[in-house]
Amino acid sequence: FGQAVFVLHDQLNMSVWPDWVRREKPLLIFVEAKAKGESLPYHKKKLAYVLSSMRHFAVECFENGYPVYYHATDQHFGEGASEILEDYEDLSLTYMTPSEWDSRKRLREVKNKFENRVMETHNTFFFADADQWKENIAPGYRMEYFYRDMRKKTGYLMNGDEPEGGEWNYDEDNRESLPKEYSVPEVTSFEPDEITQEVINLVEDRHPHHFGKIDDFRFAVNRKQALQLLDEFIEERLADFGPYEDAMATDEPTLLHSILSLYLNNGLLLPWEICAQAIKAHEKGKAPINSVEGLVRQILGWREFVRIYYEAMMPEVRDTNFMDFEKSLPELFWTGDTNMHCMQQSLKPVIEQGYSHHIQRLMVLSNFSNLTKTDPRELNKWFWFAYVDAYEWVVLPNVLGMSTFADGGILASKPYVSSGNYINKMSNYCTSCEYSVTKKTGEEACPFNYLYWNFVDEQREAFEVSGRNSFMVNMFDKKSDEDKKAIKESTNQFLNQLERYSD
């Protein structure tokens, strides 16, 4: 065979591979590694999505003239690659640096074992070269600085040296709640074809106890379908994406979001394709600057920044736990079984489709985890196996850096916690909840209310990082002894009754 190329399940796009690969069309090797699928109780739909899109991609490459070797192993990719190298002694292999730490480690072990027969090439699925930026990651280096540099570098939404519209950031315009009669456009679903049905059966057979539901599989599984979803988002949802970016609404799990992260994260779509189409829509007058800048900020800013953070912080960051929370994950993260309406609404789409949007992840689920003193590393694992778009390089910074403050303030400047007020302001959840968002303590009170004030009191150190948060500590201190006592009592009662997950 001579030279072959090893394509990982999250590198499904030949256009970013080096020129010689597209020119010479070498043998492409794909490995389906059962042990990887078993390393966490991954959502059944996630496993089906990963396998189906890899199988579709392999077929597509074959139809485009690449010889393809598709190998299934009970072990990990590393062993899979070794098995092939042992079987074919004249074969040498090039792989692209895996985004995830463990896959990288495994392939580097193969590289060491087979010395001159294995080559590693740079990962080119991202805008930024992480090696050039990762030294900047330190307390005080914020995403905003990186993002502005990237805007200048790419020229996206720039007029010379000035940002389009005069501002770098339109967040102020992007905090509206959804109007009552707003009709949210539906996202196209794709019926499973033969390949997808086959992997659905395989997943059901192999992983019956894994997280989530497998029925009603609706994702795109190839590039053509993913491009159709991108066009649909640009045409139908981008214009209102900005204003309602932070909104939440009952029975509207997707709202105006793009729902493209799962395709971006395995290469079916590329980040510059999405940004370019959004900017084009703005230039044609079809989408306002606050929506387009909001989207570019997420993709060129946050998505790239968290990857650089991961490269800078691994592997020690995996164990980080600034607030020393040791409690295991509440059981309801598995079942969705709770009387808290906001939690139900944020967990149901995860169990059903491996998705909930950013504010549900941040201000409902992570907020609840923080306020109930849950070990952030457990929460991180949950996000990793439960979401279809989760890979360690993106989930870990979002959970241990952003949403739980577990790194002590390197990625974020404050812990993301709030009382029920914030959820009530950004959603209509509270109107159909068994708890009362206006009551502060007692059995009928919204648990976010007393849990929040208890957190402020107990986590002063984390809270005093920024001026605004010391203000909250002062507010707690000014409460009457009676109120403080009631907060403690309600908190203890709630935490004692909360069931925790144990394997």
Q: Is 368 in the site for ligand SF4 (CB under 6 A)?
A: no
Q: Rank residues 301 and 447 by Cβ distance to ligand SF4 and give the closer one.
A: 447
- Binding-site member from 389, 420, 452, 490 for ligand SF4 (CB under 6 A): 420
Q: Is 199 in the site for ligand SF4 (CB under 6 A)?
A: no
* CA proximity to 269, closest of 216, 313, 215, 227: 227
Kindly state the smallest distance separating residue 402's Cβ from ligand FAD, in Å.
Answer: 6
Tell me the C-alpha distance between 497 and 503, whole Å.
19
**Contact indicator for 211, 45 with CB cutoff of 8 Å:** no
Which residue's structure tokens are 């790194």? 407
Half-sphere exposure of 209 (CA within 13 A, CB side): 3
Q: Is 292 in the site for ligand SF4 (CB under 6 A)?
A: no
Q: Rank residues 385 and 452 by Cβ distance to ligand FAD and give the closer one.
A: 385
Residue 30 bridge partners (DSSP): 70
**Contact indicator for 167, 241 with CB cutoff of 8 Å:** no
Three-state secondary structure call for residue 424: helix
Q: Rank residues 174 and 222 by Cβ distance to ligand FAD and give the closer one.
A: 174
Q: Rank residues 163 and 397 by Cβ distance to ligand FAD and give the closer one.
A: 397
User: Which conformational region is residue 354 in: left (phi greater than 0), alpha (psi within -120 to 50 degrees), or beta?
Assistant: left
Tell me the C-alpha distance between 332 and 494, whole Å.
14
Q: Rank residues 17 and 429 by Cβ distance to ligand SF4 and give the closer one.
A: 429
Residue 97 DSSP label: P
Q: Rank residues 58 and 342 by Cβ distance to ligand SF4 and give the closer one.
A: 342
| Count of residues near ligand SF4 by CB under 6 A | 14
Q: Is 340 in the site for ligand SF4 (CB under 6 A)?
A: yes
Residue 11 DSSP label: -
Tell me the C-alpha distance between 411 and 11, whole Å.
27
Q: Report what 437 binds from ligand FAD, ligand SF4, none; CB cut-off 5-8 Å by kind.
A: ligand SF4
Kindly state the smallest distance separating residue 114's Cβ from ligand FAD, in Å.
Answer: 32
Q: Is 192 in the site for ligand SF4 (CB under 6 A)?
A: no
In the stretch 440-479, what mask flags binding to ligand SF4 with x, by CB under 6 A? ------xxx-------------------------------
Kindly state the smallest distance separating residue 477's Cβ from ligand SF4, in Å.
Answer: 24
Q: Is 341 in the site for ligand SF4 (CB under 6 A)?
A: yes
The strand ranges marked E within 34-151 are: 68-73, 92-96, 118-121
List contacts with ligand FAD (CB under 6 A).
257-261, 264-265, 295, 298-299, 302-303, 306, 357-358, 361-362, 366, 383, 387, 389-390, 394-395, 398-399, 402-403
SS3 of 295-327? HHHHHHHHHHHHHHHHHHHCCHHHHCCCCCCCE
Q: Is 429 in the site for ligand SF4 (CB under 6 A)?
A: yes
* Amino acid residing at 137: I
Interacting residue ranges for ligand SF4, rule: CB under 6 A: 340-342, 420, 423-424, 429-430, 433, 435, 437, 446-448
